[in-house]
A and B are shown apart, each in its own frame.
Chain A
Amino acid sequence: MTNPHWQSDAAAKRISRRNAAERRFKLLGLGAIVLSLSFLALLLFIMLKNGLGGLDWSFLSGTDSTDPDTAGVWGATKGSLLTMFVTLLLSFPMGVLAAIYLEEFAPKNRWIDLVEVSINNLAAVPSIIFGLLGLAVFINTLDMPRSSPLVGGLTLALMTMPVIVISGRNAIKAVPPSIRDAALAVGASKVQTVFHHVLPLALPGILTGTIIGMARALGETAPLLMIGMRAFVVTPPGGVTDPSSVLPMQIFLWSDEIDTGFVQNTSAAIIVLLVFLLAMNGLAIYLRNKFEVRW
């Protein structure tokens, strides 16, 4: 027996209205995604369209110049590599050691709470503030060489460290307690347990987080602007104390040029930077898929 009320015209109308609303809502969600993705596609398309023509060997091996035809990105790329080297050298050990301490050894007290709060906040502080810190401390107080990969790397290391600490803690937390219990049960000390058993198991996760943090640092411009890495550098830097530029800064400097030839250079440099970032993120995803253990 069906309820006749359900088959009335009014009910049918109401149901079809509700179904239409449902479809509209779903379409709205789909539209939001399509709009976001098409923006991404447009951005990539325009950069490829403008820049692909300029990508050749002389562009990849050349250095900055006032002439758009001879200008290249090798000087800036080398500056970026040196800066990233300094950043990695500092932030990786520091970040991993801090993550180990906070996750495995830290007592519960006010000091440790303060450390946790400051790490979480540092991860959200605008990058330009780190630039102000670098300018005030490294350059004005400690008198380190301006525009150098050393200062740039130090500044970015302070910015990257919280990211590594947070991802490192999550990776260490994911190692099940049974591993620790087993090591402790056969007589390993706490330090041995952590360094011989927990850390190797957490390492893929830590590395993934580190690569993502480094990719962020590689694309960063604002803090480096503060410490003067916008010099016009014709010779590639020979060491970490030489004045140099970095890839995103080169993009910024070229984007300001009036000569229209630099539009192609800027877009080509953006392609180079995006390829680097894509490779790093690809590596991070590969590491995660290859070594991730589901406990």
Chain B
Amino acid sequence: MILTGVFLAVIGLGLVGWFAARARARLLYTGRGSMHSMPNYHGWHMALWIIVPALIAWAAWSAIMPGLVDSVVMADPAAASLPPDAMHRDAIMAEARTLAANPNAPVFNAEAQTIAEPLRAAQTRYGLIGALIIAIVAFAGGAFGFTRIRPDFRARTHVERAVLGLLLLASLMAILTTFGIVASLLFEAGMFFKDVSPIAFLTGTHWSPGNAIGTDIDDNFGAVPLFWGTIYIGAIIAMIVAIPLGLMSAIFLTQYASHRVRRWVKPILEILAGIPTVVYGYFAALTVAPIIRDFGATLGMANPSTESALAAGLVMGVMIIPFVSSMADDALAAVPRSMSDGSLALGATRSETIKKVLLPAALPGIVAGVMLAISRAIGETMIVVMAAGAAARLSANPFASMTTVTYQIVQMLTGDQEFNSPKTLSAFALGLVLFIVTLVLNIIALRVVKKFREAYD
């Protein structure tokens, strides 16, 4: 509570420092060329000296204060009645914290009432100590900044260096995120592979984590059916829909359509890519799946299921159309005009030129686009969650319900909340596999696209 106020106070103090230093620098200003930096830069310099050290102190204190408060409360006589087991005690402490913030909050453990009072006292005491430390740091920083305001002081250089530091920090966020993803996936998947052998996981063909207890644990975590379902839905069915439709629409829009038609149709086609996947999922479950089930029934399937690989793959394919189309568009546009002109001049028709000259020349770009499309399709979650089903089976029947890697990740993490069971950890192992596969697909595709562009430049 107190610390939030301190944070705002530090920002306010920085603002005051900004005005003070600017005013002071203005007094020193006697005419053109009398100062190295403009008064505003002196203001920023001082504000930085107030805010940056004080916020570092603030962050440090926010990190250590809860530990200090807890140890004081535990030493308090009122805490003697607490149960010794750590988990129960943490629950009571959490409730006491809520109580300390809001005395009218409902509680389940009576002990929380007794320690809420010492807890609040300790919080106030350490909050005030922290506020004092932070205030000293802020004022010391401010005083130092203020004494440096002199006509020949290069405030702008200092401020600009700080700005550059900030820019660098922001761009390092990307590396940090990548590192965070890799580290958390590897860590949690590592815990999973302590229980289940990676070979059984990658080559086993039986997936039923619900039954995994005791010694046969390896036999129930075979992920091959999930990999098959993912490939079948994302890389086969969806691509059978998306590649011809996407490629043909790109060809029509770039080669045949008039400029006006292209200007209108292309953005409308792009709407397909902007519709949220949960909407596609609902559409697949509500409209497409029953049609496919009935179709399966007329084909003579014995009780076809509502959830089918075909429904999910079909809708996913439609979602990917604009993506394939715009990748093919780029690839076709990169082919030099002289090549198709040469073919047309020899008397080939447009379609012959497209089939014999343009498409072969643009093939690397199109293949890379398809790879990116596949990487997007296999990572797609909501459509398969809502339309593909939960049955892990190795089957090539498109009317059968089939499960995918993403479906199982959702399934494993939204059921029970017991975090360290192999069942929940398996989601991270699946995530790791998904991450590696999409990463490899993306890197290869981006490289092919780059090479391909260079070839015609």
The answer on a CB contact under 8 Å between A132 and B375 is no
Determine if A5 is an interface residue (Cβ-Cβ < 8 Å). Answer: no
The answer on a CB contact under 8 Å between B171 and A98 is yes
In the complex, chain A residues 16-58 whose Cβ is within 8 Å of any chain B Cβ:
18-19, 21-22, 24-26, 28-33, 35-37, 39-40, 42-43, 46-47, 50
Interface string of B20-48 (1 = CB under 8 A from A): 00000000000000000000000000000
Q: Which residues of A contact B285 (CB under 8 A)?
A: 255
The answer on a CB contact under 8 Å between B168 and A101 is yes
The answer on a CB contact under 8 Å between B177 and A118 is yes
The answer on a CB contact under 8 Å between B286 and A263 is yes
Interface string of A126-139 (1 = CB under 8 A from B): 11111011011100
Q: How many residues of A contact B (CB 8 A)?
A: 86
Interface string of B406-432 (1 = CB under 8 A from A): 100110011000010000000110010
Pick from B244, B275, B277: contact of A222, CB below 8 A: B277
In the complex, chain B residues 436-457 whose Cβ is within 8 Å of any chain A Cβ:
438-439, 442-443, 446
CA distance A120 to B375 in the complex (A): 14
Q: A29-B248, A101-B170, A191-B163 are in contact. Are A252 and B382 (CB under 8 A)?
A: yes
Pick from A33, A36, A101, A133: contact of B180, CB below 8 A: A133
Report the stretch among A65-73, A172-180, A201-209, A273-281 that lies at the interface.
Answer: A273-281
The answer on a CB contact under 8 Å between A98 and B185 is no
Determine if A283 is an interface residue (Cβ-Cβ < 8 Å). Answer: no
CA distance A228 to B283 in the complex (A): 24
Please, which residue of chain B has its CB at the minimum distance from the CB of A230?
Answer: B414
Q: A136-B428, A191-B164, A266-B282 are in contact. Are A122 and B177 (CB under 8 A)?
A: yes
The answer on a CB contact under 8 Å between A133 and B382 is no
Determine if A125 is an interface residue (Cβ-Cβ < 8 Å). Answer: yes
CA distance A6 to B252 in the complex (A): 31
Determine if B148 is an interface residue (Cβ-Cβ < 8 Å). Answer: no
15 sampled A-B residue pairs with Cβ under 8 A: A26-B252, A26-B256, A29-B248, A30-B252, A42-B287, A94-B173, A98-B170, A106-B171, A128-B381, A129-B181, A161-B174, A190-B160, A221-B381, A222-B277, A226-B413
Residues of A within 8 A of B (CB): 18-19, 21-22, 24-26, 28-33, 35-37, 39-40, 42-43, 46-47, 50, 93-95, 97-98, 100-102, 105-106, 114-115, 118-122, 124-130, 132-133, 135-137, 140, 158, 161-162, 165, 189-191, 195, 215-216, 218-222, 225-226, 228, 230, 248-249, 251-252, 255, 263, 266-267, 270, 273-274, 277, 281, 285
Residues of B within 8 A of A (CB): 156, 160, 163-164, 166-175, 177-178, 180-181, 184-185, 187-188, 244-249, 251-253, 255-256, 265, 267-269, 271-272, 274-283, 285-287, 318, 321-322, 349-352, 354-355, 372, 375-376, 378-382, 385-386, 406, 409-410, 413-414, 419, 427-428, 431, 434-435, 438-439, 442-443, 446
The 9 closest A-B pairs by CB, nearest first: A126-B379, A29-B252, A219-B276, A32-B248, A136-B184, A97-B170, A25-B351, A222-B381, A101-B167
